[in-house]
Amino acid sequence: MTTITAEPARSVPAKGIQITEKAIGKIRSAMAKEGVSPEQGGLRVGVQGGGCSGLSYNIRFDSQPRERDRIFQFGNVRVFVDPKSFIYLHGMTLDYNETLMQQGFVFVNPNAQKSCGCGTSFSG
């Protein structure tokens, strides 16, 4: 089972979005498994209203970027972020953790003022 969790930021926020090597490896293998072309497609990371803290992280594959997306390149992995989501996600780091209890992507977001227990919801 893959889960998405959020953690408070541990360092000075970077410009844009950062992804750890471990997360890049998981994204790359999932893209291959899903048949997503690295040349045209990528990982879409966003924020939507809802969840117990007001905003929820949203992560999925997309076949191509949209017109106003910010595009971040990490080797052959591209990440697409729409302008509204970027307000809440700039400076964020996407990581991947594996423990005995759970595995999944972890959002380390300096813009999250409060997170809930489920780890997929925050307030900004």
Cβ proximity of 43 and 77 under 8 Å = yes
The C-alpha atoms of residue 12 and residue 22 are separated, in whole angstroms, by 21
Both tokens of 6, joined, read 């959020």
Assigned fold of 21-111: Hypothetical Protein Aq_1857; Chain: A; (2.60.300)
pLDDT at 59: 92
Residue 46 is predicted with a pLDDT of: 93
pTM over 0.85: no
Q: How far is Cα 54 from Cα 17, in angstroms, rounded to an integer?
A: 21
d(CA 107, CA 30): 18
Could you list the pLDDT tens digit for every one of the 124 residues in the chain? 444 544 444 433 446 899 999 999 999 999 999 999 999 999 999 998 766 657 888 999 999 999 999 999 999 999 999 999 999 899 999 999 988 888 888 888 887 765 554 444 445 5
Residue with tokens 């048949």: 35
